[in-house]
Amino acid sequence: MAAKWIWYPDEFEVYHAWVLHTRREQYGAHYPVMWTMPLPYPQVEFSKSFHAEEDFSFRVRHTGRGFVRLDGSHPMPLDKTVHCPAGDHSVRVCIEAAGSLTSIFIDSPYLQTDGSFFVLRGSEKGDPLQSAHCHPALGAEDSPLRFPFAYRDLTPVSTEEVEDGILYDFGEETFGPVSLFGVAHPVGVFYGESREEALAGENECCVWEWVTEDKELAPRAFRFLYVRGVAQVRAREEYLDLQKKGYFRTEDARVEEVYRVCARTFHLCSREFFLDGIKRDRWVWSGDVRQSLLINAYLFGDPDIARRSILCLLPKDKVFSHVNTITDYTMYLPVMLWEHYMLHNDAEFVCRVWERLCLLMDFLHRRLDPETGFLVERAGDWVFIDWADFDMGGPLAAEQILLWHAWGAMARLAAVAGQRGEVFQERQERLKAKILSHFMDGEKGVFVDTYTTRRRHISRHAHIFAILFDFVDDATKAHFYKNVLKNDEVPPITTPYFKLYELEALCQMGDLVSAQDLIESYWGKMLDMGATTMWEQFDPAVPVPEAYAMYGGAYQKSLCHAWSAGPIYFLGRYAMGVSPTSPGWETYRVEPCLGKYKEFEGAVPTPRGNIYVTCREGEITVLSPISGGTLSVGGKEIAIPMGLPTTAKL
Amino acid sequence: MAAKWIWYPDEFEVYHAWVLHTRREQYGAHYPVMWTMPLPYPQVEFSKSFHAEEDFSFRVRHTGRGFVRLDGSHPMPLDKTVHCPAGDHSVRVCIEAAGSLTSIFIDSPYLQTDGSFFVLRGSEKGDPLQSAHCHPALGAEDSPLRFPFAYRDLTPVSTEEVEDGILYDFGEETFGPVSLFGVAHPVGVFYGESREEALAGENECCVWEWVTEDKELAPRAFRFLYVRGVAQVRAREEYLDLQKKGYFRTEDARVEEVYRVCARTFHLCSREFFLDGIKRDRWVWSGDVRQSLLINAYLFGDPDIARRSILCLLPKDKVFSHVNTITDYTMYLPVMLWEHYMLHNDAEFVCRVWERLCLLMDFLHRRLDPETGFLVERAGDWVFIDWADFDMGGPLAAEQILLWHAWGAMARLAAVAGQRGEVFQERQERLKAKILSHFMDGEKGVFVDTYTTRRRHISRHAHIFAILFDFVDDATKAHFYKNVLKNDEVPPITTPYFKLYELEALCQMGDLVSAQDLIESYWGKMLDMGATTMWEQFDPAVPVPEAYAMYGGAYQKSLCHAWSAGPIYFLGRYAMGVSPTSPGWETYRVEPCLGKYKEFEGAVPTPRGNIYVTCREGEITVLSPISGGTLSVGGKEIAIPMGLPTTAKL
């Protein structure tokens, strides 16, 4: 076993989450996140008992400061060679680092840092934990303070002299560090997701920096670089080395192009964690992460970034507010943890974070209305769901249905973690009865936004959740589909964020075509407007550069936003129709649907390899590396054998 | 009101406690504290609504990074001038600092930082607190990251060429930064509390540093500096600008000299917080702090260092272990907070720290034996009381009596903080009954160390606590005095730490002479051995340099240790006999005792000035600036008028 950099469990994620969330900049201001982020524990003791066959020596590499003791010696300086005679020994390394990560690396014949080290936080009482490392593990020359990204050189597709500098166009949106050489006088670097942004000057261009000496600048998002002044420029892309496993092809090249651009968008936003977008916030928002986890399942199938992102949203020792300050974003935590468990059968992770999850859900529970159990608006909480004109005069139906779903996830997760889950189940049952008696409009048979105002305002959101979370029976779902989802009198969903959920609900009701139509009318049109990655929001009626405006800034719209990569998910989940039906794909289901396409082929990643699905000329073929599959087609259920193609009539 | 540097309440103390506790060095190793210390909250928002009569502008000085918003503007960079028109405004400054202190300073015509700003920790919910500052407040040019010490230049009393360098003797123990000038080749600076230590080389001298360029070294303790290599040296003393208000003089010049050296010792150890000593640990130990608070009451009477030191010992959001990992050190917290309240009537402080104190005492309570309520040894806890040969086979009597005292303090503090204290009172009553039934030896009428082993081993400690904390009635106290304290068969107290408590118990039993004798035989003898400050421990039978050895190192004994300044306390408390009898000296008592002295005069500080006490030629005179005093002399109780000398026959 090779030696690895090791740390206290989950602290690598805590550290990099802090760095990420205090890295935002805008119009020259340093713009740290507004919600409270935990820091790594500042004192950690690493220890191990070991046996040496012969005399040897070792050195401790480390982040932070501290000392090493061998067999209860006086503290010895780190970075000096420790001589150790043959025999039985114990080693203790104590490290402190205020606001940074405590970690060590030892490689020697009889002592290597790996999972066999124990860790304690300072003087904490109780059994020590086993140390942690990341995947792939970091080697001697790596620093755990630097996230292990991959890099590739970028070449501009065009350069253009503009006023007092040069405008570089790299052809498509990217993210990475820019280096300047030969700087003699101040040089301004203006980052543009669009040409217009790069040239808009300090007051409107979101991100820029003036440089007075040769240096590598912090990695940032750009397609265009406007370099004012004289310098040579080297740009690199910084990316996470993820493998795109899922794919989808159909007869329409446009769909394939949308899929490709969605995949590039999603890859750019998949970094230390799942980011919302790469230019502006670059923060980890729970609502966005939950959608990214769905998309990840059908593109990368990577459990590590999923775990990191969930960790990044969980509180540590104290809860200061809802996740991202948003009530519904707290509720997505058990939901996404359960979905992660279904994909990866990751009971170890569920057990590890159970206490932190309970800390959060206890906070949520304390802020509910004690009588109804409803989520109500408390001072300082952001009741969000979506940017929509809800009747905000009382508790929202959509919030309560999500809460019901969250309590259900808590009950199931408790069982996985070996904890008692009855309390969550009871809450869930009581809540369901209350929701139905308070929010259901007896006349129309649909949910009102809220019951306190008697305005009987109806939105799509509660009904979408009710369909997706199986909150109501099939007949009621059909009623909602007809009377809400397909009812033009109900205000439309206007954000791509919630559009994903609406499309999913439509797909679940057998209406894949609506989603397929949008690939043309929405995503396809974005490509027509010159998008090289998918935008945060899009209205085909607004031309560029006006389309780049958002949040009161001419260029504040993110042009590379994870939640706009949804087609990857609904093509994988509802066209190919592949999904796990028990944890870790022990059993799974393939229920393909062509919709308006004539044919398609694609793949969906599982922890044990890709499942390939081809629909062509009235036939479906499934090839799967795993057992437990059921092909559902034309009302029939067919067992899918492992490793052999299964073909059926469509 | 002048502008001040402001921060989230109590975070200045948290920050400087962290810095202090990660500053220890020994034999070239960086030696951070082993118990878990909290860090400052890394995200703080400062806000205020204000009115400007006319247009003006301001700048935000800050530690950490962040932005300023005026009336909901986009985030604006700090360090740039903000222009503000006449009218009503609100300003918000968001700062992040990982592992450091977030603080701001604004001075402008219509906006100044002071207590009128509000603070929130990141996205926390609930009412914001008022910002805090220190006393005296820090001005524009100060940095809150640098503790505001005073400095004075030091001149060596002798210099001596030794081998490859020069040995400087500064005549007495001191603490401060040393600067080197003209460094061309590596220069070694070896710090010695004794001449022998300075010359002992890297393996035995505790603190040294090799320097390769001109610099100011970190402040450290020394009397001797051995500078190896060629450099000019400038040494400064770094000290807290405290005023020695208390004093004590008698006919014996030796007593006055002991008092003077104790006062210097105590002043050197009174810095950001009350330190144990200035060379080795330089940490804040609860047992030591409690004694320092007693001494402070009779020398500086400074409430600020008292508050800082108590804050430094309290947990913040999570308790990882007992205070300093020691069970009894946890119990001193309510005890010392109550004593601080009695001295300063500081209800505001008690309210402020109540929650943190409860966090700690809840931790303690969870680790008690649920059946008896006794403090028992749990894995990882250090049951200390004193370095003594206790019968450690079961729960210790001394721990339980201290626990009883701590529950009593909690009950009284709860009342001060406006909280319910019945639970503490109940615990106290139940515990007393259990202690008496389990630990009292029926035959001898004294406490056994523990009851589980049936060894009936007896120590002084439980009896000293029982006398000091009024755990038993006067008759039992007298029995303990005769059969334990004055019984040579009971093992003697060997540490100066607990000696203070033994002397106090003797004084309380009217035996001031025993304490006075020790001033000659112990403290006086230390001066004979060349001490310029009082040592951590002293045995008149061991000569120097052997006397400098401790903890397995030839020079690890601290030669300037706060707990050895006890004479200041017992001369003030029991010779002058001055003490408060209600919070903040609303009422107080003067009960002087000459003991073996013929005469004395002295002063005891109170928040409203010094009380002067003179005993001479059979008469006592008290002069006090405050009302509420009672002179107790010769069985009589005499009211002490404010501002007028009161004289009575002794």
CB contact under 8 Å between B32 and A381, yes or no, is: no
Question: For residue B145, with 0-12 CB atoms within 10 Å meaning exposed, 13-18 middle and 19 or more buried, which class applies?
Answer: middle
Q: Are A495 and A387 in contact (CB under 8 A)?
A: yes
Q: How confident is the model at residue A125 (pLDDT cuts 50, 70, 90)?
A: confident
Please report the pLDDT score of residue A16 as a whole number. Answer: 98
Q: What is the pLDDT of residues B488-505, one digit of tens each?
A: 999 999 888 999 999 999
Question: What gap in Å lies between CA B97 and CA B63, rounded to an integer?
Answer: 8
pLDDT in tens, A58-83: 999 999 999 999 998 999 999 899 99
Q: How far is the alpha carbon of B206 from chain A, nearest alpha carbon, in Å?
A: 12
CB contact under 8 A, A27 and B321: no
Question: Does the CA dihedral B571-B576-B581-B587 come out positive or negative?
Answer: negative
What pLDDT, on the 0 to 100 scale, is given for residue A265? 98
| Count of CA atoms in the C-beta half-sphere (13 A) of B601 | 8
CA B19 – CA B246 distance, rounded (Å): 31
Interchain pair A39, B317: CB under 8 A: no
Nearest beta carbon to residue A42 from set B66, B76, B99: B99
Task: Give DSSP secondary structure letters for B53-66.
Answer: SS-EEE--EEESEE
Average pLDDT over residues B515-526: 95
pLDDT at B1: 72
**Closest CA relative to residue B35, chosen from A63, A125, A170, A419:** A125
Predicted pLDDT at A144: 98
Across the interface, whether the CB atoms of A96 and B65 are under 8 A apart is answered no
d(CA B225, CA B235): 10
What's the one-letter identity of residue A212?
Answer: T
Rounded CA separation A577/A565 (Å)? 18
**What is the DSSP annotation of B131-161?**
PB--SSPP-TT--TTS---EEEEE--SEEEE
Give the span between the Cα atoms of B268 and B221, in whole angstroms.
9
Instruction: Say if the Cβ atoms of B32 and A123 lie within 8 Å.
Output: no
> Which helix (H) or strand (E) segment is A416 a member of?
helix A397-416
What pLDDT shows up at residue A214?
98
CA distance A459 to chain B (A): 29
What the block records as the tokens of A37 is 């982020």
Letter string b/e over residues B229-251, b meaning 16 or more CB atoms within 10 A of that residue's CB: bebebebbbbbbebebbbbbbbe
Does the distance separating the beta carbons of A74 and B27 come in below 8 Å? yes
Q: What is the mean pLDDT of residues B549-562?
A: 96
pLDDT digits (tens, 9 = 90+) for A210-244: 999 999 999 999 999 999 999 999 999 999 999 99
Tell me which residue of A69, A73, A63, A70 sits closest to A95, measured CA to CA. A63
B525 contacts B544 by C-beta, under 8 angstroms: no
A46: confidence class by pLDDT, cuts 50, 70, 90 = very high
Query: Which residues on chain B are in Cβ contact (under 8 Å) with A382?
Result: none
Q: Tell me the two tokens of residue A390.
A: 């809800």
pLDDT > 70 fraction of chain B, expressed in percent and rounded:
100
Nearest CA-CA distance, residue B330 and chain A, Å: 14
Identify which of B419, B406, B273 has the alpha carbon closest to the alpha carbon of residue B351. Answer: B419
Burial class (CB in 10 A: 0-12, 13-18, 19+), B419: middle
Nearest CA in chain B to A553: B74
CA distances from A236 to A146, A219, A222, B206, B615 (A): 16, 9, 11, 50, 84
Q: What is the reported pLDDT for B520?
A: 93
Model pLDDT, residue A72: 85
Local structure of A44: helix, strand or coil: strand
CA–CA separation, A152 and B441 (whole Å): 80
Q: What is the nearest CA distance from A78 to chain B, expressed in angstroms?
A: 7
- Given strand B118-121, what is the order of strands in its sheet? B76-77, B65-70, B87-96, B43-52, B118-121, B129-130
Look up residue B16 and give its DSSP letter.
H
A18–B98 CB contact, under 8 Å: yes
Distance separating alpha carbons of residues B615 and B613, to the nearest angstrom? 7
Residue A1 reports pLDDT greater than 90: no
CB contact under 8 A, B77 and A30: yes
Q: Closest Cα of chain A to B489: distance in Å?
A: 36
Closest CA in chain B for residue A98: B99
- Banded model confidence at residue A337, pLDDT cuts 50, 70, 90: very high
Q: Are A567 and A262 in contact (CB under 8 A)?
A: yes
Q: Residues A163-172: what's their mean pLDDT? A: 96
Nearest CB to A325; choose among B18, B123, B317: B123
Average pLDDT, chain A: 96
B78 neighbourhood in chain A, CB within 8 Å:
29-30
CB-CB under 8 Å, A378 with B29: no
Rg for chain A (alpha carbons), in Å? Answer: 27
The string of pLDDT tens digits covering residues B444-462 is 999 999 999 999 999 999 9
- Kindly give, in sequence order, each residue whose CB lies less than 8 Å from that of residue A34, ignoring residues fewer than 6 positions away: A325, B45, B94, B122, B123
Strands (E) across B139-256 are located at 150-154, 158-162, 165-176, 178-181, 187-192, 207-211, 215-216, 220-228, 232-239, 247-250
A266-289 mean pLDDT = 97
pLDDT tens-digit series, residues A128-140: 999 999 988 999 9
Quickly tell me which residue has 């490689």 as its tokens: A107
DSSP A550-585: BTTBTT-S-SSBGGGGHHHHHIIIIIS-EEESSGGG
| pLDDT for B107 | 97
CB contact under 8 A, A22 and B124: no
User: In the beta sheet, which residues pair with residue A553?
Assistant: A550
Q: A149: exposed, middle or buried (C-beta count within 10 Å: 0-12, 13-18, 19+)? A: middle
> What pLDDT sits at residue A133?
96
What angle, rounded to 10 degrees, do the helices at A286-299 and A303-313 form?
Answer: 170
How many Å apart are CA B328 and CA B322, to the nearest integer? 8
From the list B28, B35, B42, the residue facing A39 with the nearest CB is B42
Distance in angstroms (rounded) separating the CA atoms of residues B638 and B300: 27
Closest by Cβ to B124, choosing from A36, A39, A552: A36
Task: Identify the sign of the CA torsion A222, A223, A226, A232.
Answer: positive
Are the C-beta atoms of residues B320 and B381 closer than 8 Å to each other?
no
Q: Does the pLDDT value for residue B75 go beyond 80?
A: yes
Q: How far apart are CA A622 and CA A588, in angstroms?
A: 12
Structure-block tokens of residue A628: 């437990």
Whether the per-residue pLDDT at B88 is higher than 90: the answer is yes
Distances (CA, A) of B381 to A124, B394, B402: 10, 14, 16
B16, B19, B20, B22: best to mutate for the A interface, most A CBs within 10 A: B22
pLDDT level of residue B224 (50, 70, 90 thresholds): very high
A32 to B65: CB separation less than 8 angstroms, yes or no: yes
- Nearest CB among B30, B39, B94 relative to A67 is that of B30
Put simply, the answer to whether A42 touches B37 (Cβ < 8 Å) is yes
pLDDT grade for B125, boundaries at 50, 70 and 90? confident
Contacts of the segment A84-89: beta carbons below 8 A, 24+ positions apart = A84/A52, A84/A55, A84/A56, A84/A57, A84/A58, A84/A110, A84/A111, A85/A52, A85/A55, A86/A52, A86/A53, A86/A54, A86/A55, A87/A51, A87/A52, A88/A49, A88/A50, A88/A51, A89/A49, A89/A50, A89/A51, A89/A52
Interface contacts A/B by beta carbons within 8 Å = 152
> Structure tokens of A176?
């990475």
What pLDDT shows up at residue B126?
Answer: 83
Report how far residue B295's alpha carbon sits from residue B528's, in angstroms, rounded to the nearest whole number.
24
Element (DSSP H or E) covering residue A296: helix A286-299
B553–chain A nearest CA distance, Å: 10
Task: Give the best residue of B47, B96, B550, B551 to mutate against chain A (max A CB count within 10 A).
Answer: B96
CB contact under 8 A, A122 and B318: no
User: E strands along B358-417, which residues?
Assistant: none
Model pLDDT, residue B650 = 86
The pTM for the full model equals 0.95
Q: A488: pLDDT confidence band, cut at 50, 70 and 90?
A: very high
pLDDT band at B558 (very low <50, low <70, confident <90, very high): very high
Residue A141: which residues within 8 A CB-CB, separation 6 or more?
A: none
CA atoms of B398 and B393, how far apart (whole Å): 14
Taking the CA of residue B73 as centre, how many other CA atoms within 13 Å lie in the half-sphere pointing to its CB?
A: 20
